């Protein structure tokens, strides 16, 4: 059973405020047996003080042993079963740069590549072209005209860009044109079903015109298209939880994910300090606040243990700004673990702390992987966290009589 069937009928409104502070990639690993994780190493007096009046557990992003990307990681935290709701890669890329997809759109990831005189790929990433070189080329591709279809092209980074085709009857199931190899030409766009034939034809026309526009470029004289996908259909926070929700994020990806579940994107914060200011300014206007902190993930991805410790300490320093607002429920968690030991997202449960007056305090004295292992929330799938948030906020009625 979809939990939203329950929350739709059981949610209740009140004046409570829920804050979900997401430290991206929060969970970590020790470097060796007996060692400490990044979070265990960091000095986090504010989070530890919260631990003493909260309850901890380990959030399993998807299922045991599954490392998620940012999309499924956040869907889980937002209470959308990440195995039931899938955001296509094109849609996620568009979301990541803040492109707001509409119902008639198909989003596609584009890669510049280098083609030899025979039309075969010699470099799948166009010689690792810089963003400075590639962005004007992506903009140039806006000159492509396809009758009856609006074409959007947006630069992303290095060899990557986004194409959005907007029109009637554009199915989203078209195979990638990237052959995942050099020495062969890009594949033709091929529809996986009849409803996507028009999309495949439009994509082929896009490629033909684009190749002409790129002719003569030393590196990026060709392109491949991947991850064709329509706008994902996600019910909104308002509809499933009765929550007016705000997202306070710095990076476009997380703003985009929040927008997909109907959150308002508030403020233009570029720093954690500015994010706290936006939170304070908007405190009276929303029921739910999603605050995204990126740097625990990016330092983990870099394999920089010390930097992740430092970023965790920076996060800790911001906590008093939140508690000063006296939220009814404060949750501190991550969308997944990003241990610097692995330099990648991982499957390990994420230390998760929930503070409310009725959370059944587990009286732990630090917020960490080792503490959360013995916490009152146990290990739980992330998709249940919003149910706990609503209940702790007094916003969920009883199931059954």
Segment 30 to 89, residues that bind a second copy, using CB under 8 A: 30, 33-35, 37, 52-53, 58, 62-73, 82-84, 86-87, 89
Find, among 350, 397, 344, 398, the residue nearest to 372 by Cα.
350
Please state the closest distance from residue 332 (CB atom) to a second copy, in A: 16
Q: State the Cα–Cα distance between residues 399 and 390, nearest whole angstrom.
A: 13
Residue number with CB closer to a second copy (10 or 138): 10
Q: Rule CB under 8 A: which of 341-370 touch a second copy?
A: 341-342, 344-349, 358, 360-363, 369-370
User: What H or E segment, with its residue span, contains residue 265?
Assistant: strand 264-265
Please state the closest distance from residue 36 (CB atom) to a second copy, in A: 10
User: What H or E segment, with its residue span, contains residue 381?
Assistant: strand 378-381
Q: State the Cα–Cα distance between residues 137 and 113, nearest whole angstrom.
A: 12
Distance between start and end Cα atoms, the chain: 19
Residue number with CB closer to a second copy (91 or 279): 91
3 interacts with a second copy by CB under 8 A: yes
Residue number with CB closer to a second copy (54 or 262): 54
DSSP structure string for 80-124:
--TTT----HHHHHHHHTT----TTEEEEEEEEEEE-TTS-EEET
Q: Rule CB under 8 A: which of 190-219 touch a second copy?
A: none
Q: Which stretch binds a second copy (CB under 8 A): 161-169, 183-191, 310-318, 390-398?
A: 390-398
Please state the closest distance from residue 272 (CB atom) to a second copy, in A: 25
Under 8 Å CB-to-CB from 400, ≥6 apart: which residues? none
Q: Rule CB under 8 A: which of 367-386 touch a second copy?
A: 369-370, 373-380, 384, 386
Under 8 Å CB-to-CB from 249, ≥6 apart: which residues? 255, 258, 265, 275, 290, 291, 292
Please state the closest distance from residue 34 (CB atom) to a second copy, in A: 6
Exposure of 183 by Cβ count < 10 A (0-12 exposed, 13-18 middle, 19+ buried)?
exposed
Residue number with CB closer to a second copy (49 or 207): 49
Q: Hey, what are 313's tokens?
A: 């300490």
142 interacts with a second copy by CB under 8 A: no
Q: Rule CB under 8 A: which of 306-345 touch a second copy?
A: 339, 341-342, 344-345
Residue number with CB closer to a second copy (213 or 342): 342
13 interacts with a second copy by CB under 8 A: no
Residue number with CB closer to a second copy (178 or 205): 178
Three-class SS state of 142 = helix
Q: Rule CB under 8 A: which of 106-125 touch a second copy?
A: none
C-beta of residue 319 within 8 angstroms of C-beta of residue 37: no
Please state the closest distance from residue 184 (CB atom) to a second copy, in A: 22
Q: State the Cα–Cα distance between residues 300 and 290, nearest whole angstrom.
A: 21
């Amino acid at each position: 059973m979809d939990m939203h069937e329950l929350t739709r009928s059981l949610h209740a409104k009140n004046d409570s405020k829920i804050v979900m502070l997401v430290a991206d990639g929060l969970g970590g690993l020790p470097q060796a047996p007996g060692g400490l994780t990044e979070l265990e190493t960091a000095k986090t007096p504010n989070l530890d003080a919260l631990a003493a009046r909260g309850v901890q557990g380990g959030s399993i992003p998807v299922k045991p042993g599954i490392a998620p990307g940012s999309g499924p990681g956040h869907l889980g935290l937002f209470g959308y079963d990440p195995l039931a709701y899938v955001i296509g890669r094109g849609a996620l890329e568009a979301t990541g740069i803040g492109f707001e997809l509409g119902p008639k759109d198909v989003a596609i990831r584009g890669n510049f590549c280098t083609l030899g005189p025979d039309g075969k790929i010699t470099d799948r990433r166009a010689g690792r072209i810089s963003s400075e070189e590639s962005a004007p080329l992506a903009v140039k591709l806006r000159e492509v005209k396809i009758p009856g279809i609006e074409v959007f092209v947006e630069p992303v980074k290095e060899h990557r860009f986004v194409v959005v085709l907007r029109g009637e009857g554009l199915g989203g199931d078209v195979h990638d044109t990237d052959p995942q190899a050099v020495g062969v030409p890009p594949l033709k766009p091929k529809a996986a079903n009849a409803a996507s034939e028009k999309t495949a034809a439009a994509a082929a026309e896009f490629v033909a015109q684009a190749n002409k526009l790129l002719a003569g470029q030393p590196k990026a004289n060709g392109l491949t298209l991947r991850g064709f996908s329509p706008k994902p259909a996600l019910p909104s926070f308002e509809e499933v939880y009765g929550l007016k929700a705000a997202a306070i994020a710095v990076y476009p990806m997380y703003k985009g994910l929040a927008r997909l579940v109907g959150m308002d994107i508030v403020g233009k914060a570029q720093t954690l300090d500015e994010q706290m200011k936006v939170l304070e300014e908007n405190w009276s206007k929303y029921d739910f606040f999603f605050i995204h902190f990126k740097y625990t993930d990016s330092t983990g991805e870099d394999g920089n243990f010390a930097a992740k410790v430092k970023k965790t300490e920076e996060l800790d320093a911001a906590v008093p700004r939140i508690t000063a607002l006296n939220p009814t429920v404060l949750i501190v968690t991550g969308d997944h673990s990003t241990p610097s030991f692995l330099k990648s997202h991982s499957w390990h449960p994420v230390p998760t702390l929930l503070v409310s007056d009725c959370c059944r305090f587990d009286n732990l004295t630090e917020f960490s992987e080792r503490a959360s292992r013995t916490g009152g929330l146990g290990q739980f799938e992330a998709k249940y966290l919003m149910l706990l948030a609503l209940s702790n906020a007094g916003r969920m009625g009883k199931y059954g009589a």
